[in-house]
Structure 1
Amino acid sequence: MSYELRQVFASLPQMERGVAKVISGDPSGNNFLYTNGKCVIIRNIHNPAIADIYTEHAHAVTVAKYAPSGFYIASGDASGKVRIWDTTQKEHLLKYEYVPISGKVKDIAWTEDSKRIAVVGEGREKFGSVFLWDSGSSVGSVSGHSKLINTVDIRPRRPYRMITGSDDTNTCFFEGPPFKWKCTLRNHSQFVNCARFSPDGSHFATAGADGQILLFDGGTGELTSHLGEEKAHNGGIYAISWSPDSSQLISASGDKTVKLWDVGTGTALTTFRMGNDIADQQLGCLWQNEHLLSISLTGYINYLDRNNPNRPIRTIKGHTKSIQCVSIHRSDGRSYIYTGSHDGHINYWDAETGENDCFLGKGHSNQVSKMVVDADEVVTCSMDDTARYTSIDKKDYSASDVVKMDTQPKSISVAAGGLTLVVCIGQVVLLKDKVKVFTLENLDYEPEVGVLNPAGNIAAVGGKDAKIRLYSVQGNTIKDEGQTMEVKGAITDMAYSNDGAYLAVIDDKKVATAFSVADGYSVKNEFYGHHAKPVTLAWAPDNEHFATGGMDMMVYIWTVGDADKRLRLPDCHRLHHVSGLSWIDANTLVTTSHDASVKQWTIKY
């Protein structure tokens, strides 16, 4: 048995209201990169479904920038550590590691010869540092600011100049190398969020929370003009990015617009209106060859269309928060992956192309805990104490049926005849045609997970007491048949095989057990391998294999008839355990995780 990573659907950038997001591109113009949690995500700009994830930081990564050579990326994290790593090899080998400042890194800049790096942010002794990339030796000092520095850039031609912008409302101008403070520019009245040199080095622009964009001479630091009438935007400006020919730039603002400016005349050529909601605030932007990108507060990445400023060419959607569950739906010969996340968000992906979107309207207000696809509906349960049935055709929450539960649901299962079994804290609830028809309560055990067999006449409920209880479903009632099976520990997940022949169970003692239904639920096999608690389980369509994922970050694929015949997938999601498993077909496994990404694996038996 063997496995191979087939595809990665990456997470979106993690956003914070009122905080600029640095998104940067590679010198060749093919990729762009951003950060989410402890990950640096590299995506192909022409086909964003092609992605690579760097996971070697121990703390949340805040910014990443390509070296002008294109061979290395420097990424900085919340602890002040900067890692410089290789982009040409799949392993992304670490070249150097430094801790230039003692707090969160906010921005990074390289000199155009790829030899020197400037790092700025928060710190105790200093807010910035400039050093040689291969030795860490200082090549100047970053001084002149009294508060944390938000942004830095270095002129892309000699003689080098460096600019920094800070929460103290000032921009500092440096000459070098070695870089020395030359003057302080006190032209903004609020935080300076972004400062960038034009590609030809003739000018630099600064943008601030006061809504102004100011232009300065790139060699002397003298103020030359400002963009717009009184202000460039009606809200704070978080990011600017120059066109390759240095004649234009784009700016992203909290006023929910992106503007395209003609630098020579100081006028806005186009205003891209991104919406009216708070979530439509624009916190980052990038001009990469012919592509204009902006990032919304939701983390959505917008490809802007100059010919139609009110509608982006495309919007990349996905998850910014940890994915909790996954399910598969097949329609017209295509497979779609449905994922639910910690913030109540449900997304769906075309398994082949990676094109994705989310349901419209207001859905779950809290974590989506479990999800199953039943015919033409996605059935979910959430920490907001509801079960929802959402139409796959309409893809609209407002048209969905919502059933309020008495206590928080943990698990949901569906079967033929319009049946749904919901396991809540202290309760087992049966729904028929989206209506509660029976509730088991005052139980002498704590139910954790429940599943209906495919025929819908048996409900198996697993508890914290390491027992599985079998109930018969008769009409609108659940009846205790008095049959129980015991496993080694508290049950974390269970599932019937697609043909109903087996019931697989995992528990917190790291054991997977398969029961044979036809033999009166006798134990067919026990499977050992996980080093930590397994939390999710899914049957392959062939009914001969099932996959389990655990807190040990491992996924195992087990063969029902042979406990020794197994396949181990180590470190599927490097930093987090696998939170959800589902099969597209007998040879394609989907994994999700708290890194907010979706991966597809090709399995060969």
Structure 2
Amino acid sequence: MSLEAKHVFASLPSMERGVAKVLGGDPKGVNFLYTNGKSVIIRNIENPAIADIYTEHPHQVTVAKYAPSGFYIASGDVSGKIRIWDTTQKEHLLKYEYQPFGGRIKDIAWTEDSQRLAVVGEGREKYGAVFLWNTGSSVGEVFGHSKVINSVDLKQTRPYRLVTGSDDTSVSFSEGPPFKFKSTIPDHSNFVNCVRFSPDGTRFVTASADGQILMYDGKTGEKISSIGGEKAHGGGIYAVCWSPDGSQLMSASGDKTVKLWDVGAGTAVITFNMGSDVMDQQLGCLWQKDHLISISLSGYINYLDKNNPDRPLRTIKGHSKSIQSITVHKNEGRTFIYTGSHDGHINYWDSETGENDEFSGKGHTNQVSRMVVDDAGQLVTCSMDDTVRFINLNKKEYSASDLVKMDSQPKCVSVAPGGLTLAVCIGQLVLMKDKRKVFSLDNLGYDPEAGALHPGGTTAAVGDATGKVHLYSIEGNTLKEEGQSMEVKGPITDMAYSNDGAYLAVTDEKKVVSVFTVADSYALKDEFYGHHAKIVTLAWSPDNEHFASGGMDMMVFVWTVNDSDKRIRIADAHKLHHVSGLAWVDEHTLVTTSHDASVKQWTVKF
């Protein structure tokens, strides 16, 4: 029995309103980089479904940049730590770690020989540092600012120059190495968000929240012109990047547009209109070979189309917040994975290609706690917004009428043939039929935590906070307590019937999975031990002979029902967070989700 990684569908970048997002481009042109939480995400630019995640930072990572050699990546976090690590090996071995200052790192730049690094951000006494990559020895000072430095760049040709832009509205220009302060450029009237040298080093541009892009001589720092006149954009500009040949410039703005500029003429050649919603503000951009990429406040990654500026070639969607629930569904021979996140967002993925999108219309407004597909091909979801929704998977849109309001917050939802749905809410059980409430039970005398409907539609099992499983028979449109209950080792966290209805598996906080045989009056078949912490989720394989469990110990186990010693373990399935959801695409493919906002698929061999 073995298990190996098959696909990683990565998270989107984590975004903050009014804060620029720095993207890292691979000098070889294969990948691009961004950060989310404590992760650095490396994605293939041609096929973004191919991704790798670096998870070794102990704090939230803010920026990552490739060395010009392409062999190393430098990434910086909110504590002021810089880690330089290998890109060529899967293990991403750490080469060096430095702490240039104490505070959030906002930007990183390398010299073209991959020997020196400039790092800027929110230091306590200082806001920037320049040092040798392999010793950490200083090669100059970053002076000239009285507030946080947002952006830094190094001229990629000798003689080297260093330029920085700050919240104090000024730009600082230094010569080196060793880098010494030469002059302050006070031409902007608001925060300077981005500074970038042209590829040949002859010029550099500065972009500011005042909507201006200014261009300077790369060697002397003297002003040449303003691009786009007095106002290049109607809103603040968060990012600029040069075309590989240095003839054009791309700028991303809070006015929800990205513009392409002819640098020589100083005029806009193309304006990309990215939408009208506040989430369409553009906070980052990258020009890599023929790819023009921008990042929206929503976290969406847009591949821009010069021939059609109002519609991107493609938009990479996904989750930027922790994923809380998952299910799978086959449709016309293809399997789709559905995931719901902490912010109420639901995404669906093609399990093979990783292509994904979201439903249209207005959906949940809070965490999507559970989801399951019923026999009518509807995605049934329950959320902390106190609703249960029924979403038609062919139409792929939310419907205002297919929503059932609960009296209290639903924790869990389960379905059975014939349009039956059971919602386990705080202090209440609600039975629905054909998207309508038909019965509810209050004053239960226990706190329900999880529930499952038998695939035959005759029985409901409900687990409580003391470790008891209560059985109810479904008679017509009512739930009737059968007077039979089973005990497990601790407070119940999840439960599910096998697909054929033969077994009921129950997970608890005491790290045990208990499996009961339905036909044998729910006699205990076996107990499964192995987790080191509370188990939070489980899922049955389509073969009904195996099931998977995931716990707070970040481990996933695949168990064999008839032999509790026969098991597969994945340690650190998602390195930073516990597994929040499990589902099976087929009997040899397991999908896991986590608070790292990524979706992983694993090939299971028995």
TM-score per shorter chain, which class?
over 0.9
CA distance in 1, matches of 2:562, 2:604: 18
CA distance in 1, matches of 2:207, 2:67: 24
Structure 1 segment 153-164 matched on structure 2, within 5 A: 153-164=153-164
After superposition, the C-alpha distances for 1:541-592 in whole angstroms (9 at most, x for unaligned) are: 0000000000000000111111111111100000000000000000000000
CA distance in 1, matches of 2:445, 2:396: 40
CA distance in 2, matches of 1:441, 1:400: 26
| CA shift for structure 1 position 18 | 0.3
After superposition, the C-alpha distances for 1:361-393 in whole angstroms (9 at most, x for unaligned) are: 110000000000113211000000000001111
Which residue identity lines up with residue 293 of structure 1 in the other structure? I
CA distance in 2, matches of 1:508, 1:39: 28
1:319 is matched with: 319
Task: Give 3-state SS (helix, strand or coil) of 2:232's partner.
Answer: coil
Q: Structure 2 unaligned runs (5+)?
A: none
Q: Are 1:485 and 2:496 an aligned pair?
A: no
CA distance in 1, matches of 2:569, 2:577: 16
| CA shift for structure 1 position 72 | 0.1
Which residue identity lines up with residue 24 of structure 1 in the other structure? G
Which residue identity lines up with residue 156 of structure 1 in the other structure? Q
Q: Are 1:391 and 2:392 an aligned pair?
A: yes
Which residue identity lines up with residue 565 of structure 2 in the other structure? D
| CA shift for structure 1 position 399 | 5.5
2:152 is matched with: 152
Which residue identity lines up with residue 474 of structure 1 in the other structure? E
| CA shift for structure 1 position 398 | 3.2
Which residue identity lines up with residue 552 of structure 2 in the other structure? M
1:419 is matched with: 420
2:304 is matched with: 304
2:586 is matched with: 585
After superposition, the C-alpha distances for 1:450-487 in whole angstroms (9 at most, x for unaligned) are: 11000111000000011000000011100001000000
Which residue identity lines up with residue 171 of structure 2 in the other structure? T
2:92 is matched with: 92
CA distance in 2, matches of 1:63, 1:391: 40
| CA shift for structure 1 position 400 | 5.5
1:20 is matched with: 20
After superposition, the C-alpha distances for 1:157-181 in whole angstroms (9 at most, x for unaligned) are: 0000000000000000000000000
Q: Are 1:522 and 2:562 an aligned pair?
A: no
CA distance in 2, matches of 1:362, 1:217: 50
After superposition, the C-alpha distances for 1:88-119 in whole angstroms (9 at most, x for unaligned) are: 00000000000001100000000000000000
1:504 is matched with: 505
After superposition, the C-alpha distances for 1:110-148 in whole angstroms (9 at most, x for unaligned) are: 000000000000011100000000000000001110000
1:247 is matched with: 247
8 Å Cα contact 1:34/1:63 also seen in 2: yes
Structure 1 segment 320-399 matched on structure 2, within 5 A: 320-374=320-374, 375-398=376-399
Which residue identity lines up with residue 546 of structure 1 in the other structure? F
CA distance in 2, matches of 1:110, 1:54: 20
8 Å Cα contact 1:390/1:400 also seen in 2: no
Relative to the length of structure 1, the TM-score reads 1.00
CA distance in 2, matches of 1:203, 1:398: 53
| CA shift for structure 1 position 395 | 1.0
Deviates more, 1:339-348 or 1:432-441: 432-441
CA distance in 1, matches of 2:183, 2:333: 65
| CA shift for structure 1 position 21 | 0.2
2:143 is matched with: 143
Structure 1 segment 189-208 matched on structure 2, within 5 A: 189-208=189-208
8 Å Cα contact 1:573/1:593 also seen in 2: yes
Task: Give 3-state SS (helix, strand or coil) of 2:399's partner.
Answer: helix
| CA shift for structure 1 position 273 | 0.2
Which residue identity lines up with residue 70 of structure 1 in the other structure? G
Which residue identity lines up with residue 125 of structure 1 in the other structure? E
Which residue identity lines up with residue 599 of structure 2 in the other structure? V
2:11 is matched with: 11
2:541 is matched with: 540
| CA shift for structure 1 position 331 | 0.8
Which residue identity lines up with residue 542 of structure 1 in the other structure? D
CA distance in 2, matches of 1:131, 1:511: 52
Which residue identity lines up with residue 530 of structure 1 in the other structure? H
Task: Give 3-state SS (helix, strand or coil) of 1:138's partner.
Answer: coil
CA distance in 2, matches of 1:294, 1:15: 13
8 Å Cα contact 1:390/1:399 also seen in 2: no
1:404 is matched with: 405
CA distance in 1, matches of 2:465, 2:418: 29
Which residue identity lines up with residue 460 of structure 1 in the other structure? A
Task: Give 3-state SS (helix, strand or coil) of 1:523's partner.
Answer: strand
CA distance in 2, matches of 1:214, 1:228: 9
CA distance in 2, matches of 1:441, 1:379: 22
Seq. identity, %: 73
8 Å Cα contact 1:389/1:400 also seen in 2: no
1:448 is matched with: 449
| CA shift for structure 1 position 396 | 1.0
CA distance in 1, matches of 2:401, 2:52: 36
1:551 is matched with: 552
2:461 is matched with: 460
CA distance in 2, matches of 1:508, 1:102: 39
CA distance in 1, matches of 2:459, 2:444: 18
Deviates more, 1:397-406 or 1:527-536: 397-406
8 Å Cα contact 1:391/1:400 also seen in 2: no
After superposition, the C-alpha distances for 1:333-365 in whole angstroms (9 at most, x for unaligned) are: 110000000000000000000000001111000
Which residue identity lines up with residue 142 of structure 1 in the other structure? V
Q: Are 1:44 and 2:63 an aligned pair?
A: no
2:263 is matched with: 263
CA distance in 1, matches of 2:302, 2:512: 45
1:469 is matched with: 470
Which residue identity lines up with residue 396 of structure 2 in the other structure? K
Deviates more, 1:221-230 or 1:529-538: 221-230
| CA shift for structure 1 position 79 | 0.2
CA distance in 2, matches of 1:172, 1:267: 26
| CA shift for structure 1 position 443 | 1.2
Q: Are 1:531 and 2:526 an aligned pair?
A: no
Which residue identity lines up with residue 101 of structure 2 in the other structure? I
8 Å Cα contact 1:429/1:436 also seen in 2: yes
8 Å Cα contact 1:467/1:484 also seen in 2: yes
| CA shift for structure 1 position 397 | 1.1
Aligned residue-pair number: 605
Q: Give the root-mean-square deviation of aligned CA atoms.
A: 0.6
1:115 is matched with: 115
1:571 is matched with: 572
2:210 is matched with: 210
CA distance in 1, matches of 2:373, 2:46: 32
Structure 1 segment 60-139 matched on structure 2, within 5 A: 60-139=60-139
| CA shift for structure 1 position 243 | 0.1
Which residue identity lines up with residue 310 of structure 1 in the other structure? D
Q: Structure 1 unaligned runs (5+)?
A: none
Relative to the length of structure 2, the TM-score reads 0.99
Which residue identity lines up with residue 436 of structure 1 in the other structure? K
Q: Write out the 4+ residue segments of structure 1 that deviate beyond 6 Å after TM superposition.
A: none
Task: Give 3-state SS (helix, strand or coil) of 1:279's partner.
Answer: helix
CA distance in 1, matches of 2:591, 2:373: 15
CA distance in 2, matches of 1:511, 1:175: 64
CA distance in 2, matches of 1:110, 1:510: 48
| CA shift for structure 1 position 229 | 2.6
